[in-house]
Amino acid sequence: MPEIRVLPEELQNRIAAGEVIERPASVVKELIENSIDAGATEVGVDILNGGRRLIRISDNGRGMEREDALICFYPHATSKIGTEEDLFDIRTLGFRGEALSSIASISRLKILTAPSGSTLGVSVEIHGGELREVKEVAHSGTTIEVKDLFFNTPARKKFLKSQRTEIYHIVETVTVAGLSRPDVAFSLTIDRAETLRLPTACSMRERVLQVYGEEFLRGLREVNESSLKALISVEGNFRSSRAN
């Protein structure tokens, strides 16, 4: 009797999800990148119980039509590329079409979205990769709620660290996103308490000031070489972000 078998598609998706989503911070990173790719200038992150209970990402980006909202959870469904040639000119943070599919397969996920210029949108719920509910809602932008992460993959859930550790990784993820995009406003609320707020900044220096404070900023040197622009810390000048 043959010993090698092709796994059911549902099990394939759960295994693949583990390669993309390792912890709650992975969900936050992927969804923030989706928001930025959608042209968002404001991104809000809400967390409960270290991301185990709830991760909610809200943005004011372009949003999606009903048809797109229904297929965006399919493996390799993406608006970022369409041909092989597109792989050589990628200008977005995400392009593989794996993030939403992976997250939806290991959580109870809801997306509320409406296309730009419309307040009538759609709500789609998927539990463990299975479509549960689709209905029209009044909404603007996009909000994605991820509940009970890893509820159907107990082995993966078992390897999560303490709530404090998972929160640390989430704060770090939002902070890095904020530093990379000063033109986008970010907020982070943990267990209903605002932990981090980064208003839109005019420059990298202003964003660094928001995150690390004036004393740290004074210890940086600005570098402008060719297409590289950066702020480099001098020896001995280091500190954690204000959120940590």
> How confident is the chain (244 residues) per 10-residue block, as mean pLDDT?
66 61 96 95 99 98 94 75 56 66 95 93 96 95 97 91 98 98 98 98 96 93 76 70 67
Residue pair 98/106 in contact (Cβ under 8 Å)? The answer is no
- Predicted TM-score (pTM) of the model is 0.84
Residue pair 188/172 in contact (Cβ under 8 Å)? The answer is no
Same domain, 116 and 175: yes
Amino acid, single-letter form, for residue 219: G
Same domain, 193 and 208: no
Residues 6+ apart with CB under 8 A from 235: none
Which domain does 230 fall in, by range?
Answer: 203-244
Same domain, 77 and 148: yes
Amino acid, single-letter form, for residue 86: D
**Residue 152 maps to a domain:** yes
pLDDT value of position 28: 98
**Residue 22 maps to a domain:** yes
Backbone angles phi, psi at 38, to 5 degrees: -85, 5
120-127 and 142-147: which strand pairing?
Answer: unpaired
Same domain, 134 and 232: no
Residues 6+ apart with CB under 8 A from 187: 43, 44, 45, 194, 196, 197, 198
pLDDT value of position 244: 65
DSSP strands (E only) in the chain: 42-48, 54-59, 108-113, 120-127, 130-138, 142-147, 185-190, 193-198, 220-225, 228-233
Same domain, 192 and 230: no
pLDDT value of position 109: 98
pLDDT value of position 129: 92
Same domain, 210 and 237: yes
How many C-alpha atoms does 180 have within 13 Å on its Cβ side? 11
Same domain, 105 and 223: no
Q: Which residue has the tokens 């991104």?
A: 43
**Residue 66 maps to a domain:** yes
Residue pair 38/59 in contact (Cβ under 8 Å)? The answer is yes
**SS3 state at 76:** coil
**Residue 1 maps to a domain:** no
Same domain, 86 and 113: yes
Residue pair 211/178 in contact (Cβ under 8 Å)? The answer is yes
> Considering its fold, how many domains does the chain have in total?
2
**Residue 150 maps to a domain:** yes
188-216: buried (b, 16+ CB within 10 Å) or exposed (e) per residue?
Answer: bbbeeeebbebeebeebeebbbbbbeeeb
Distance of CA 192 to the CA centre of its chain: 19
Same domain, 162 and 221: no
**Residue 220 maps to a domain:** yes
Same domain, 124 and 30: yes
